[in-house]
Amino acid sequence: AAGVIQSPRHLIKEKRETATLKCYPIPRHDTVYWYQQGPGQDPQFLISFYEKMQSDKGSIPDRFSAQQFSDYHSELNMSSLELGDSALYFCASSLGLLLAGDHNEQFFGPGTRLTVL
């Protein structure tokens, strides 16, 4: 079965640089979520999109922005990177509009490991 695809898998940036992370959801999934997981931490919700519109917002810094495109893929843009932004960034997808028999669980991609030097 198709899974959530994230690219790149690893990214190394310098302080104050920008980074763009991409996420391709499971086919049919119309909701995309972004999470940040620091070392030894649980994943923290950043932002979500449903049908190309922002649907919920968590602890996302103002330096970060995201969007969902017409093909449902999403991109997380991170500017003025700081050392503390080094983390594993997960994208997850789910069905937002449920039909009979559908489930709403979130399926996670493999993550993008961002290292800021």
- Site of interaction with other proteins (CB under 8 A): 30-31, 33, 37, 41-43, 45, 48-51, 53, 55-56, 88, 90, 92, 94, 96-97, 103-108, 110-111
- Of 10 and 14, the one with the shorter C-beta distance to other proteins is 10
Is 85 strand, coil or helix?
A: helix
> Which residues, 6 or more positions from 99, have their beta carbon under 8 angstroms from its beta carbon?
none
List beta partners, residue 12: 115
Amino acid at 108: F
- Please state the closest distance from residue 79 (CB atom) to other proteins, in A: 24
Rounded alpha-carbon distances, angstroms, from residue 64 to 18, 80, 102, 116: 10, 9, 32, 15
Q: Which is nearer to other proteins, 37 or 79 (CB)?
A: 37
Q: How far is the CB of 19 from other proteins (least distance, A)?
A: 19
Q: How far is the CB of 97 from other proteins (least distance, A)?
A: 6
